[in-house]
Amino acid sequence: MINPFTDEYFMKKALQEAEAAFDKGEIPVGAIIVIDNKIIARSHNLTELLNDVTAHAEMQSITAAANFLGGKYLIGCTLYVTLEPCQMCAGALYWSQISKIVYGATDDNRGYVKMGTQLHPKTKVVNGILADEAADLMKRFFAEKRK
């Protein structure tokens, strides 16, 4: 039997969240957290709406997933996020001990890799999943902002 719950499947769900952010004038980053093929948290950037620089998609999803699970650790969970996490989000992901992070587009300017931030040693990382779609959404957003 073919498993329909692939990284691409869940990244499409994260891209839907990024589109919601785009529609609200937020930087279009979307995130979901999955455990046992079930989405337990979903969010997108809310920094403008909440006037809060920490209201990144990943931070919102970490909080929602922890509340769902009733604990602060996200062991057994996978984060799907459309853009490589920043240093702040990578730090929160480190402390959450999330098991896997899957991201789309890399952030060559502010991503955790460029900034030298380490993730938890047990966290597995997969990148480049639907990267073109995620990057195109970001490019479209900033092109519209420059008009």
Annotated active-site residue 58? The verdict is yes
Q: Provide the 3-class DSSP secondary structure of residue 74.
A: coil
For residue 130, the tally of other CB atoms under 10 A from its CB is 21
- Using CA atoms, how far apart are residues 25 and 62, in angstroms rounded to an integer? 22
Residues 9, 95, 60, 71: is their CA dihedral positive or negative?
positive
Q: What are the C-alpha distances in Å from 59 to residues 5, 40, 77, 89, 131?
A: 24, 14, 15, 6, 21
Is residue 77 a known part of a binding site? no
Is residue 89 a known part of a binding site? yes
Is residue 86 a known part of a binding site? yes
Q: Using CB atoms within 10 A of its CB, is residue 99 exposed (0-12), middle (13-18) or buried (19+)?
A: middle
* Catalytic residue of the set 19, 26, 48, 58: 58
- Using CA atoms, how far apart are residues 98 and 92, in angstroms rounded to an integer? 9
Which residues sit in the known binding site?
Answer: 56, 86, 89
Which residues sit in the known binding site for Zn(2+)?
Answer: 56, 86, 89
**Catalytic residue numbers, as ranges:** 58
